[in-house]
Amino acid sequence: MPVEGEWARADVFRVLRDTCSNADLDWPRMARDYNFDLASIEDPQGVVPISAWHAVFEHVAEVLDNDSIMFDLFNNVDIGCFSIFDYLFACAPTLRDACLAWVKFCPIRTNAYRMAFEEDETSGYVEWPILEGRGEWRQNMFARIGWAVQQLELALDMKNPPLLIELAAPPPKHTSAFQKKYQGRIRFGATHNRISFPRSLLSRPLHRNDAHLYEIILKSASSELEWFGHMESPISRIANEVASNLPKGSFTLPQISAKLGMSQRAVQRLLEKEGTSFRALSEEIRRSAAERYLRNTDLPLKEIAFLLGFSELSTFSRAVKIWFGVSPRKVREARGKTQPRDHGAPKKVTSVRASGRKRASG
């Protein structure tokens, strides 16, 4: 089954399946329900739609009746489960080199987003962007955090490194061993998904580094980057640029086009080809972000309005009433109640298709 548009590597499903081998999980049915090719799980270069990548994690957590289990499952996977990407970090010369490798080679894992790495006078940060409008991603993010922290633990040879973990999601009802281990250093309801650590660690030599071996690893990763690089999703670049500029209020077509280095007409043609428009895409991203902030955080309404680029609370309130039929306070009050699940029903951002791209095959 070809995968067009936004995708992520399917090996994460193989790890999830094998880790939960005794659980009552029907993978053929999940493949049908969430529209991915079951054979891609065994394909070393297999990919699945980003909507399925998110939805399956939510489904598995529901079946296991444990909304914090992904932290533990992926904090304990064997190194190398995710092929060359694991070794890019574990075998790097320093922590800084490892973080930069994650950023550079992120396109071999997905075309839906790019990781970010920054450092200031006191700290270093690795961050995953929030994918607005691509369905519920909380469990998938818990898994990514569990995996990334394990990478840091192993690379630094520290059982409990000095990390601060921030998640733009509400806390789970259950408590994992991972949460207990990092108690007091995990912040839920944040405005981003990131891990920070003391800047002093960035120059620290990593004990698994071997210059000759790392040269081989980089060569292999570069080969994968060349292979997967042609599968870039321009629609993802537009959507993620809009989402990142919401707080600035600067997400008009001319502004976003300029940031992408594209003409306005080129952006419009691309969106038209995908069956949407800049206005429709921006509206869906804004609506999705509003829903997430109102249901998953305790941020004041004025702050949420600001984060979404609204200059006035009244304007934000009117927009929410149009989107959800009720006021922002009513949306927030309903967050503890059962919400309809649509894990397998991608919205506009995930329904767009980038024609001509084929799934990588072995």
The amino acid that residue 354 corresponds to is A
The predicted pLDDT at position 71 comes to 98
Long-range CB contact pairs, 320-325, < 8 A, 24+: 320/290, 320/294, 323/287, 323/290, 323/291, 324/291
pLDDT above 50: residue 349? no
The predicted pLDDT at position 298 comes to 84
pLDDT band at 131 (very low <50, low <70, confident <90, very high): confident
Pair type for strands 123-128 and 193-198: antiparallel
The predicted pLDDT at position 97 comes to 96
Where does the chain hold its CATH 1.10.10.60 domain(s)?
A: 234-351
Of 92-106, 126-140, 171-185, 285-299, the one with minimum mean pLDDT is 285-299
Residues 290-303, mean pLDDT to the nearest whole number: 88
Residues 54-82, mean pLDDT to the nearest whole number: 94
pLDDT above 70: residue 117? yes
The closest alpha carbon to 93, from 13, 207, 173, 185, belongs to 207
Range picked from 17-26, 175-184, 270-279, 301-310 for highest mean pLDDT: 175-184
Rounded-to-integer distance, Cα 71 and Cα 77, Å: 11
The predicted pLDDT at position 256 comes to 87
The predicted pLDDT at position 227 comes to 83
Pair type for strands 164-167 and 116-119: unpaired
The closest alpha carbon to 35, from 20, 55, 63, 14, belongs to 55
> Do 288 and 295 form a contact (C-beta atoms < 8 A)?
no
Residues 336-353, mean pLDDT to the nearest whole number: 41
The predicted pLDDT at position 336 comes to 57
The closest alpha carbon to 47, from 100, 11, 5, 83, belongs to 11
pLDDT above 70: residue 343? no
Residues in the chain: 362
| Ramachandran quadrant class, 275 (left: phi over 0; alpha: psi -120 to 50; beta: rest) | left
Residues 2-28, mean pLDDT to the nearest whole number: 87
pTM here? 0.80
State pLDDT tens for residues 219-253.
Answer: 999 999 988 866 666 777 788 888 888 887 767 88
Residues 125-141, mean pLDDT to the nearest whole number: 92
pLDDT band at 341 (very low <50, low <70, confident <90, very high): very low
Beta bridge partners of 110: 8
The predicted pLDDT at position 73 comes to 96
pLDDT above 50: residue 1? no
The predicted pLDDT at position 340 comes to 41
Q: Report the percentage of the chain scoring pLDDT > 70.
A: 90
Residues 210-217, mean pLDDT to the nearest whole number: 93
The predicted pLDDT at position 232 comes to 66
Chosen CATH of 234-351 out of 3.30.420.300, 1.10.10.60, 1.10.1740.10, 3.30.70.380: 1.10.10.60
pLDDT band at 65 (very low <50, low <70, confident <90, very high): very high
Retrieve residue 253's tokens. 């077509």
Mean of the per-residue pLDDT values of the chain: 87
The predicted pLDDT at position 230 comes to 65
pLDDT band at 34 (very low <50, low <70, confident <90, very high): very high
Rounded-to-integer distance, Cα 154 and Cα 103, Å: 19
User: Would you give the distance in Å from CA 11 to the centre of its chain?
Assistant: 16
CA torsion through residues 73, 79, 82, 86, sign: positive
The predicted pLDDT at position 318 comes to 92
